[in-house]
Amino acid sequence: MTPAAILAAPYIMRGQDGQSPNSKLNIASIGVGGKGGSDRKLAEKEGNNIVALCDIDAKRLAGAAKDHPGAKTYTDFRKMLEEMGKGIDAVLVSTPDHTHFSAAMMAVQMGKHVCVQKPLTNTIWEARELHKAAKKAGVVTQMGNQGATGEDRRRIQEWVAQGAIGKLKEIRIWTDRPIWPQGALKKIAAQKPADLDWDLWLAQVPPMDYFEYTDRDGKKGELHPFKWRGWWSFGSGALGDIGCHSMDASFRVLGGRFPTKVEGQSSPVTEEIAPAWSTIMYHFPEADGQPAVTLTWQDGRFLNGQQNRPERHPALDEMPEKDWRAAKNSQLIIGSEAVILGGTIYPKARREDVQKAMESGKIKQTIPRSTHPGEPQQEWANAIKKGLQTSSNFDHAAPLTECVLLGNLAIRSGKTIEWDREKMTAIGAPEANRFVRRPAYRKGWEFKA
């Protein structure tokens, strides 16, 4: 089923909960600070209850508990789920990437609806397994890439499908991430913060001593709560951080096509740390009469401080230079007759023609709109109660995450990836295949099918 069809298809909700459209959900929040706080605020709208809070940071947990005085607090989500059992209907997972799989998998296997921050997981194997488990359980799922619920995603699909920019030729995506230290980092021994349960923070990652780091300039940094993203054990680099946001529209436009080859280049990359910049080219095959398409991803900055980004396309000549330079995080969908930058068609003359075609009905609205644009957690909670579809359910989010993470296989291995999706393997590239799944899960955190 194509991404567009997934959006349009009716969702059959697991019936054992017996929730009615007017009922209140009992929601547990795993990872309560930062993004967890905003996720929780959206999910609890319309009268839903936050009944449990879990975090490995005692200070953050205490702060969240003030906002939800009736919620039980935990540092270990395994204990939370085991103790509260039927008292929880749904679970928010807003933790670092490496914990997404273990937290969401346990919740799903207990029959809980889940909303997981992006990327869905930080290995391809985990995304596959979590998707399978969610389908088996019949739970309502969502990945927290906000744009998936927005108007732009749907309108861009309709434009491309109905010829607004001519034949699709190429896609370029770029970002100013990483906005955290990445690349040339050096581990240093350090005293663990008193409020941090480091052992539980590691979760499924094999035990290691707490550490901090210094960057290229000798500046000291801490992993928690934000600067873990550049470390492969915990994050997925710049690509994992923003790829599921910025590739989402393009992945939908490509209508379910999946890359068969991925090439990458980057600044130095190590076994532990993602590079300071990377350029990745995804090759999507021809399908349904549409020509083969390349999608080029660029992230980071070079040593001279210049952002790694594409040159301006001729169709954008009318755009003021300052506006072009300000587009530090964007996508360019290139057609034979026009381009789409962000959510706007260029050149202006073509944009005006498309607007008239929309007003006259020549270009039609064919994709259902979200009930909660820009609010994936609220959309998810509403879908649970009303039996609706979510915009980034795991049928869409798992393949999208896999596509994004293929770029990291190319970067980490230094090899061109020829991807056999059925066998989940890079053909003839053992250097890449060792990154398809986590090498080891620590005792007590093993995956059980």
Domain that holds residue 51: 3-146+374-390
User: Is the residue at 95 inside a domain?
Assistant: yes
Residue 297: which of 313, 311, 274, 279 has the closest Cα? 279
Q: What is the CATH number of the domain that holds 37?
A: 3.40.50.720
Q: How far is CA 312 from the centre of its chain?
A: 27
User: Is the residue at 22 inside a domain?
Assistant: yes
User: Is the residue at 65 inside a domain?
Assistant: yes
User: Is the residue at 24 inside a domain?
Assistant: yes
Beta bridge partners of residue 238, listed in sequence order: none
User: Is the residue at 238 inside a domain?
Assistant: no
Is residue 314 exposed (0-12), middle (13-18) or buried (19+ Cβ within 10 Å)? Answer: exposed
pLDDT recorded at residue 87: 97
Number of domains the chain is built from: 1
pLDDT recorded at residue 90: 98
User: Is the residue at 17 inside a domain?
Assistant: yes
pLDDT recorded at residue 289: 81
Contact 206, 234 (CB under 8 A): no
User: Is the residue at 139 inside a domain?
Assistant: yes
pLDDT recorded at residue 2: 32
User: Is the residue at 110 inside a domain?
Assistant: yes
Q: Count the Cβ atoms, other than its own, within 10 Å of residue 13.
A: 19
pLDDT recorded at residue 290: 84
d(CA 47, CA 21): 12
Residues of the chain with pLDDT under 70: 1-22, 449
Cα–Cα distances (Å) from 125 to 101, 423, 425, 439, in that order, read 10, 11, 10, 11
d(CA 276, CA 259): 24
Which tens digits make up the pLDDT trace of 205-226? 999 999 999 998 899 999 999 9
pLDDT recorded at residue 19: 57
At 351 the three-state DSSP class reads helix
Whether residue 347 is preceded by a cis peptide bond, meaning omega within 30 degrees of 0, is: yes
